A and B are shown apart, each in its own frame.
Chain A
Amino acid sequence: MKVLSKPVADKSKYMDLLRQMMLIRRFEEKASEMYMRGKIGGFLHLYIGEEAIATGVMSVLGPDDYVVSHYREHGHALARGMDPKVIMAELFGKATGSSGGKGGSMHLFDASRNFMGGYAIVGGQLPIAVGLALAAKYRREDRTVLCFFGDGAVNEGEFHESMNLASVWQLPVIFMLENNLYGMGSYVERTHAGGKDIYHVADAYKIPAAQVDGMDVLAVREATEEALKRVRTGSGPVFIEAMTYRFRGHSMADPVAYRESSELDQWRKEDPIEKFKVVALREEFVTDDELQGIEAGVQATVEAAIRFAEESPEPELDTLHDNVYA
């Protein structure tokens, strides 16, 4: 187990970070169960294993900052403060969901939290991040755009166009790469010419870049904090690569035939929640009792979300044509 980066001072922060990661984990486990029971349709991409990234990032992001993400975004949405009930209801396709059942798992939005969407076309959110940042700069607003994307998205032209323009125009974007080593069944070293350490690509665009342990919530938090400081000086974008691993398949439909189970076992030792628990207990920032309390609380929250989703009505058929301009 790797040593964690420098500790944060106060106890309640530890509890918050732990609770957040555990909530995401539990939410995703339950979502997977609901998918198997046919309550959730379409594609379902779980964030299990990657919880430290969303949690670390959102713990320092300001409320005015924008977030855009991809289709593996339940964790980002939860950590941003979206109500688990509303997310679960969207996954169930219910009228009470964040998009009234019209978006589904891959398209969560909460404009009130500046959570400007999950995008299901790989790379699609990157140019949009540039646009949000452009508006912030143009309007002299103190906002940063946090853009999540995967290692697979780096190979799309949209990624390169966005990096270049954000740098040329010195826009306040944090490019947050979640490198889980795979894009569907493709291992990063077989698809990215620069190998698995992707952050080097930022050099070509003169964007300062760092690589962090994405299984270490404090390391992610610290890297994001530093990036935010830098971006807020107006000196342009920053690139962070968080190294991580998805413990489940690409989506629920993926039998995961392309990787060795020994690789997963190796990464399970880096489980961001278990690692953090050990440290928190050792440093006495949390007691066993408190841990159990968090566990129970998270469980209750997710159960309540399921109940809410279950009991919510289907969207009315007469809403079919709402929200279409033309």
Chain B
Amino acid sequence: MPEITYRKAISQALREILQSDPRAFMIGEDIGGYQGAYAVTRGFLKEFGPERIKDTPIAESVIVGAGIGAAMAGSRPIIEIMTINFSLLAMDQIINCAAKLHYMSGGQVTVPLVIRTVSGGGTQLAASHSQSLEGWFAHVPGLKVVAPSTPYDAKGLLRAAYQDPNPVMYVEHSLLYGMKGDIPDEEYSIPLGVADVKREGSDVTIISYSRMAQVALKAAVRLEEEGIDAEVVDLRSLRPMDTETIINSVKKTSRAVVVEEGWKAMGIGAEVSARIMENALEYLDAPVQRVASADIPMPYSRPLELATLPNEDRIIEAVHRLF
């Protein structure tokens, strides 16, 4: 199994899709000549040409809209929105159109569209450029939302997202692009809506996704040193969400902490804890704990940014509150 980066895993999946399916093309800002703001599409313009690697004006609404229209007509566009912060300019197309067309048309129309974007903070880009808005999309019926935390998941989920007949928000994390991991040589995909137990444990379940799943794994190593055996569940898909895997784990450990990089209010942690309460209340030894970013717009200053983001220490503190 070759070891490759998260960035390379995504770009490999994209390349294989473009090579094998003539219906596929990509649309986005600076994905061609500039080779992608995060270099995921490096070399693509040269390999696939401008008809399939479409650089656009800065115009998120029509980028997504053009993808929706093309998908309705039978093409398989893959959209790149440079970061999730800019998806806000395309909200009408994503929420009012992409998510609803299949239902509103009584099933006559499908929108098999992948919207790739980048979420998260941690690089001092300040309030307007550091948001984790994937939960907003996960709120909306008609959309699927995935957010991989490893190269293996990144590739497998992108393949599945591409094959799915629904619009899928595929959410990358800028601080994971350099992360390395093993990937099989043969083709594979990971079904949407299936969580992954990234580490087995018996004392507490830490549920997370994207970069925070990696932080949770590191926290788990430290917890082990003090004799707490933590299980880490990586959601991978936010919608559909794999309630069963969460519940099975909590039934085993009787304790749960949910970790997300976004804001706590109305967030993923709130959703996960509600599901635990609905399905496994009697198994809990303590109230579910939530770890999230501070309830403020992201500050620019490095020390303030670090104080805002969840980290290993805060996860460990939350676990301690359960015992």
Residues of A with Cβ closer than 8 Å to B?
41-43, 90, 93-94, 99, 101-107, 119-124, 152-153, 155-158, 183-187, 190-192, 257-258, 314-315, 317, 319-321, 324
> Do A93 and B124 have beta carbons less than 8 Å apart?
yes
Q: Which of B4-12, B136-144, B195-203, B297-305 contacts A (4 or more CB under 8 A)?
A: B297-305
Known contacts: A102-B299, A184-B34, A186-B57. The answer to whether A320 contacts B128 by CB under 8 A is no
CB distance from A120 to the nearest CB of B (A): 5
CB-defined A-B contacts under 8 Å, sample of 28: A41-B300, A42-B124, A42-B129, A42-B300, A43-B125, A90-B300, A93-B301, A93-B302, A94-B301, A101-B299, A102-B126, A102-B127, A104-B124, A105-B300, A106-B125, A106-B129, A107-B128, A121-B128, A123-B58, A156-B59, A158-B89, A184-B30, A186-B29, A186-B33, A191-B56, A257-B35, A315-B304, A317-B303
- Does B123 lie at the interface of the complex (its beta carbon under 8 Å from any beta carbon of A)? yes
**Interface residue from A107, A155, A315 paired with B57 (Cβ < 8 Å):** A155
Given the contacts A41-B302, A42-B300, A190 and B124 also touching, CB distance less than 8 Å: no
B32 to chain A, nearest CB (A): 8
Please give, as numbers and ranges, the residues of chain A lying within 8 Å of B89 by CB-CB distance: 121, 123, 156-158
Chain B residues with a Cβ closer than 8 Å to the other chain, count: 36
Q: Which B259-296 residues have a C-beta within 8 angstroms of A?
A: 294-296
Q: Could you tell me if B58 and A183 are in contact, using CB atoms closer than 8 angstroms?
A: yes
CB within 8 A of B301: which of A122, A152, A185, A314? A314
Using CB atoms, name the residue of chain A closest to B36.
Answer: A185
B58 near A191 (CB under 8 angstroms)?
A: yes
| Closest-CB distance, A197 to chain B (whole angstroms) | 16
Residues of A within 8 A of B297 (CB): 324
Knowing A102-B299, A123-B58, A191-B57, say if A321 contacts B128 (CB, 8 Å).
no
Q: Which of B58, B88, B300 sits near A104, CB closer than 8 Å?
A: B300
- The contact string, 1 if C-beta is below 8 Å from chain A, for chain B 54-77, is 011111110000000000000000
Contact with A along B108-135 (1 / 0, CB 8 A): 0000000000000001111111000000
Is the Cβ of A153 less than 8 Å from the Cβ of B295? no
A103 and B300: CB pair below 8 A?
Answer: yes
B27 CB to closest chain A CB (Å) equals: 13
The residue from A41, A122, A185 contacting B34, defined by CB atoms under 8 A apart:
A185
**In this assembly, does B86 line the interface, its C-beta being within 8 Å of a C-beta of chain A?**
yes
Chain A neighbourhood of B125, CB < 8 A: 42-43, 104, 106, 120
Docked Cα-Cα span, A32 to B301, in Å, equals 18
Most chain A CB atoms below 10 A, which of B58, B88, B300: B300
Contacts of A319 in B (CB 8 A): 304
Closest to B58 in A: A152
**Contact status A102-B61, CB under 8 Å:** no
Majority DSSP secondary structure for residues of A touching B: loop
Residues of B within 8 A of A317 (CB): 303-304, 307
Contact, CB under 8 Å: A186 / B55: yes
CB distance from B118 to the nearest CB of A (A): 14
B30 to chain A, nearest CB (A): 5
- Identify the closest chain A residue to B126 (Cβ): A104
Which residues of chain A are within 8 angstroms of B88 by Cβ–Cβ distance?
121
Given A102-B300, A157-B61: 13 more A-B contacts, CB < 8 Å: A41-B300, A42-B123, A93-B301, A104-B301, A107-B128, A123-B89, A124-B128, A155-B57, A157-B89, A183-B58, A186-B29, A191-B56, A314-B303
Q: In the assembled complex, which residues on chain B have CB atoms less than 8 Å from the CB atom of A320?
A: 294, 296, 299, 304, 307-308
Q: How far is the CA of A61 from the CA of B158 in the complex (A)?
A: 52
A157 to B56, CA, bound (A): 14
* Residues A321 and B296 in contact in the complex (CB < 8 Å), given A42-B124, A42-B125, A104-B124: yes
Q: Verify A121–B86 contact, CB threshold 8 A.
A: yes
CB distance from A277 to the nearest CB of B (A): 34
Q: Does B189 touch A at the CB level, under 8 Å? A: no
B29 pairs with A101, CB closer than 8 A:
no
Instruction: Give Cα A107–Cα B85 distance, bound, in whole angstroms.
Output: 15
From residue B303, how far is it (CB to closest CB) to chain A in Å?
5
Q: How many angstroms from the CA of A43 to the CA of B85 in the assembled complex?
A: 15
Nearest Cβ on chain B to A86's Cβ, whole angstroms:
14
Max count, chain A CB within 10 A of own CB: residue among B60, B128, B295: B128
- Return the 3 tightest CB-CB contacts between A and B, nearest first: A185-B34, A104-B300, A41-B124
Q: In the bound complex, do residue A190 and residue B55 qualify as a contact, i.e. CB atoms below 8 Å apart?
A: yes
Question: Cβ of A187: which chain B residues have Cβ within 8 Å of it?
Answer: 33
Residue of A nearest to B265 (CB): A326
Given contacts A93-B302, A185-B33, A317-B304, contact A122 B127 (CB under 8 A): no
